[in-house]
Amino acid sequence: MRKHILLIVAFCAASGLFAQDFDLPCGNLNLKPEVQTVQLYAGDDQLSDPIIPLDDMVERLTLSFDIIDGEGEVLNYTFIHCTHDWHPTDLQRMQYASGFDNDRLDDYAFSRNTLVEYVNYRLRFPKADMMPMVSGNYLLIVFRDDLTDDNVLFTRRFMVVDEKVHLGVSVPRYPDDLSLTDTHQQLNVTVNLNNYIMNNTQQFSHLTIRQNGRWDNAAEGLKATYVYPDHLTFEHHPKTVFEGTNQFLRFNTSNFHFQSENLAHIRQTDEAFEIDIATCEPRARMAYASYEDIHGEKFIYVEDENLDNSTEADYCRVNFFLKCEAPFTHEDVYIMGALNDWRFDESNKMSYDYRLRGYTCSMMLKQGYYNFMFVTNDRTTQEIKTDLTAGNHWETYNVYKLYFYFFNVVKGYDELIGYATVNSH
């Protein structure tokens, strides 16, 4: 299926067309195992969202990634415009981008003094010779040679915003469903239209809400509950109610010679450093404990300020262990966070060890500071939940990211005209 999809992408890139009828996977996907530590962020802040203003885009996004045991080669990249719900638009490329259809990615450097050899690639874009021209959702595609199934390395989402409206958000102490008072967080949203939208607001406007860096539980395509002449409200809506979750767990591997918080053992092998995370237990029945986290993100760095984080940070094998007397009967357990780009696949799926009486998983990670959380995936519904492993608390400090789209009938695409981030407390 993916082969047919990517052949379609290749054809579309050549013809300048991307049709919404095709089922293009516009998500954050890693398609090659040798590609590691993909980061896409605004400016120089690793913790920022990949979203930039329409009126100031030149080289505002930073892309960094590694290819393990790479030889150093020139790669290519392109981007396509997407709808509010992440499908390719019907626009011709000349309607949403200027310049070339794709460009070279040739800024790379080899790792130095590391046990695990890799090549680090960096890119600052958009560039003047390949520039988005309209607001909305975009998908970045990095590939070798021609755009075919075997050559695509990964895809990443980014957004261009043209702020025309203002979003106001509140998190009330008591949700509409009082049975969720202590475990869930509800958002009430007001969109001040600023006279930008006058007609068909209910039909053509859409709101997306994300909790931290997650896409799996995002509320997408929300319609306004009430429509007023100068503003919209999104309230009393079940999709604006999120599990409160818990503070993320954390560990720091920036120094292999110092056993920092939550690290049980550090050892060096011939192939790589190996680190055991301190034994974790389900927090579902534990009282809420407040402490600072970075909302599930990762920050790549080495403690020595004289070293280059991009090429002198080494990779290490990190071993996780979740103590559990018996395996869950209907759920699989995963490690959630930016350490795996918020995906749920074999790389972060845990296995139950009957001898150790707990779940285990090992991941190769670049040196840095990481947040993570244990979650379950219901085998029937495929719903990711935190109630059995991390627990849910209204008090949890979450970051919510809101995106407001309006489908411009004249121009034929979803404009991203509002963006806001809000802390739950």
The pLDDT of residue 375 is: 98
Instruction: Compute the distance between CA of residue 182 and CA of residue 175 in angstroms, rounded to an integer.
Output: 9
Instruction: Compute the distance between CA of residue 80 and CA of residue 236 in angstroms, rounded to an integer.
Output: 35
DSSP string, 193-254: -TTS--S-HHHHEEEEEEETT-STT-EEEEPPSEE-SSEEEE-S-GGGEEE---PPEEEE-S
The pLDDT of residue 1 is: 43
Task: Give residue for tokens 């680090």.
Answer: 120
Instruction: Compute the distance between CA of residue 341 and CA of residue 251 in angstroms, rounded to an integer.
Output: 17
Are the C-beta atoms of residues 76 and 130 closer than 8 Å to each other?
A: no
Segment 208-232 shows an average pLDDT of 95
- As a whole-number percent, the residues of the chain with pLDDT over 90 amount to 87
Judge whether residue 68 has pLDDT over 90. yes
Judge whether residue 86 has pLDDT over 90. yes
3-class DSSP assignment, residue 3: helix
The pLDDT of residue 74 is: 95
| SS3 track for 313-353 | CCEEEEEEEEECCCCCCCEEEEEECHHHCCCCCCCCECEEE
The pLDDT of residue 289 is: 94
- Residues 302-320 pLDDT 10s: 998 889 999 999 999 999 9
The pLDDT of residue 259 is: 87
The pLDDT of residue 108 is: 97
Segment 135-147 shows an average pLDDT of 95
Are the C-beta atoms of residues 214 and 248 closer than 8 Å to each other?
A: no
The pLDDT of residue 13 is: 43
Q: Quick one: CATH architecture of 249-385?
A: Sandwich (2.60)
Q: Looking at the chain, which residues constitute the CATH 2.60.40.10 domain(s)?
A: 166-244+398-423
The pLDDT of residue 195 is: 87
Class of 166-244+398-423 per CATH? mainly beta
The pLDDT of residue 327 is: 97
> What are residue 323's DSSP bridge partners?
358
| Beta strand extents in 11-96 (DSSP E only) | 29-30, 35-42, 51-53, 61-68, 75-82
Instruction: Compute the distance between CA of residue 42 and CA of residue 63 in angstroms, rounded to an integer.
Output: 9
| DSSP conformation class of 279 | P
For residues 195, 167, 217, 31, the Cα torsion angle rounded to the nearest 10 degrees is 80
Are the C-beta atoms of residues 399 and 295 closer than 8 Å to each other?
A: yes
The pLDDT of residue 350 is: 98
Helices (H) and strands (E) in the chain, counts: 4, 32
The average confidence (pLDDT) of the chain is: 92
- Torsional class of 173: left (φ above 0), alpha (ψ -120 to 50), beta (otherwise): alpha
pLDDT tier for residue 200 given thresholds of 50, 70 and 90: confident
Judge whether residue 380 has pLDDT over 80. yes
The pLDDT of residue 276 is: 97
The pLDDT of residue 20 is: 36
Element (H, E) at 26: none
- Residues 1-40 pLDDT 10s: 444 444 444 444 443 433 333 345 799 999 999 999 999 9
pLDDT tier for residue 124 given thresholds of 50, 70 and 90: very high
pLDDT tier for residue 255 given thresholds of 50, 70 and 90: very high
Judge whether residue 137 has pLDDT over 90. yes
Judge whether residue 213 has pLDDT over 80. yes
pLDDT tier for residue 260 given thresholds of 50, 70 and 90: confident
Pick among 1.20.1250, 2.40.10, 2.60.120, 2.60.40: CATH of 2-161? 2.60.40
Judge whether residue 166 has pLDDT over 90. yes
pLDDT tier for residue 148 given thresholds of 50, 70 and 90: confident
The pLDDT of residue 9 is: 45
Judge whether residue 125 has pLDDT over 80. yes
Rounded to whole angstroms, what are the CA distances from 325 to 55, 60, 278, 322, 354?
56, 49, 17, 10, 9
The pLDDT of residue 80 is: 95
**Sign of the C-alpha dihedral computed for residues 205, 209, 214 and 218 taken in this order:** negative
The pLDDT of residue 274 is: 97
Judge whether residue 266 has pLDDT over 70. yes
The pLDDT of residue 202 is: 83
Segment 71-87 shows an average pLDDT of 95
Range from 102-111, 191-200, 226-235, 402-411 carrying the lowest mean pLDDT: 191-200
